[in-house]
Amino acid sequence: MKILNLALSRSTVDRAAHIRADESALELEWQVAKIIHFNGTGFLTSGISLTLLTAEQIEGSGQKIFLGQHDGASYFLWCSEQSIGSDEGYKTLREISAELTSLEIGLAVHGQAVALWHHKNPICPNCGSVTEPFAGGSSRRCATGHEHYPRTDPAIIVLVKDKSDRILLGRQAVWPEHRFSTFAGFVEAGESFEQCVVREVLEEAGVRVSDINYLGSQPWPFPQSLMIAFEATIQDPENARPDGEEIVEIRWFDRNELYASITEGTLLLPPSISVARAMIQAWYGEDRPPLPGAETWRL
């Protein structure tokens, strides 16, 4: 089994959890830190790189989030709705992630996930009182002492194959025309990853899984998912059919058919930073050139 090299799983940041628990150490690190800015939608950038600010350049109210250390430097995210300079300098993670370094990916993915969680959780669900950030922004705590931590929603994503090594791709109605991808779904309460793979493939494509292999995992902070990737061989390719609700069309491809469909314009693949694209490229052949095609996101 070979684990996929996934675009958003390249972090080289040491999260340095021991520093989070020391408020005085956090304040000292903030004064000399390298700081990235997130305005709730995008990151302040310089070209295709994250702009690194100093504490002296930070103004107004906002949220400090300690992201960790790398090569002796501490990194923070400053989250505030007010932009620093022109709004044109801000780009979303979807726009820039394919170009970022491994260090920048680690900072941006971590920072966006935690920042969005803070924005959605100002009130304690246990007592209804206001919560405040603590431990370097890694958690929140209310006046009565209840502690809350960022939520991650696990989701499986699966490359379905038959015994002839063809792959099955599906199209959702909300996607652009000709956009096809692998099958995916959130893990339900009390369900294992493997059970979720079997259920989702049967629900969305009407086929039954016989073998499952783990391929890797990747954070997907849009807003708070973790994608766990598998490939699955199915027993009954002749029964493949879309569910007609989430999946409206399915197509089988061998390698030649996949390449031909892309070049003819009848197939659009998911974006290069996605787990789906990595799984399809790995199946197609990592020793071959990357599959062509423009980036395609949801409508």
pLDDT band at residue 295 under the 50/70/90 scheme: low
Please check the confidence at residue 13 and state whether its pLDDT lies above 90: yes
In the predicted model, what is the mean pLDDT of residues 8-22? 95
pLDDT for position 138 = 97
- Residue 63, pLDDT > 90, answer yes
Residue 1 confidence class, pLDDT cut points 50, 70, 90: low
Residue 297 pLDDT greater than 80, yes or no: no
Mean pLDDT in residue range 223-229: 96
Averaged pLDDT, 122-145: 96
- In CATH terms, are 7-148 and 153-284 the same topology? yes
pLDDT tens for each residue of 176-225 = 899 999 999 999 999 999 999 999 999 999 999 999 999 999 999 999 99
Under 8 Å between Cβ of 23 and 288: no
Architecture category of domain 7-148 in CATH? Alpha-Beta Complex (3.90)
Tens digits of per-residue pLDDT, 72-81?
Answer: 999 999 999 8
Q: What is the pLDDT of residues 145-174, one digit of tens each?
A: 999 999 999 999 999 999 999 999 999 999
Domain boundaries, the chain: 7-148, 153-284
CATH number for 153-284 (one of 3.40.50.300, 3.90.79.10, 3.40.50.1980, 3.40.50.12280): it is 3.90.79.10
